[in-house]
Amino acid sequence: MNKDEVVVRPKLTYVCFILDETGSMQACKQATISGFNEYIQTLKRAVGVQYLFGLTKFNSTKVEVVYRPKPLPAVEDLTEESYQPDHLTPLLDAVGKTIHVMEQVLLSEQEDYHV
């Protein structure tokens, strides 16, 4: 690299996906799995951005942080086994838990980031 070259680091962007896993999603389970996986593939094809992707699933019995933000290559496809809609809908609980996780992650960061 010569002294006139500029090194551009990819932008670090956090994506936190909150997935409804309640009984009402049973009717659109296949579309949800397909849409999630297509979204992940779209992010993986992006140029100039480094994504860290987190997944939270919720229903009335639990709010589950499936994984904290991690590099996209480590994100697995959603499958029939990993996505099992049932129970009722506590959306605000899932949002609150995800915000809390992101607060912890961002407080430990030393770089510029986008959320």
- pLDDT band of residue 46 (cuts 50, 70, 90) is very high
Sole residue written with tokens 């049932």: 86
Which pLDDT value is given to residue 98?
A: 87
What DSSP string describes 46-90? -SSEEEEEEEEEEETTEEEEEEEEEEGGGPPPP-TTT----S---
What single-letter DSSP state applies at residue 19? E
Q: What is the mean pLDDT of the chain?
A: 89
Domain range annotation of the chain: 11-107
Entry pTM:
0.73
Which pLDDT value is given to residue 15?
A: 96
Structure confidence by residue, pLDDT tens digits, 55-111: 999 888 888 999 999 999 999 999 999 999 998 777 777 888 888 888 888 888 766
- Classify domain 11-107 by CATH number: 3.40.50.410
Nearest to 20 by CA among 72, 77, 92: 92
Structure tokens belonging to residue 23: 């009984």
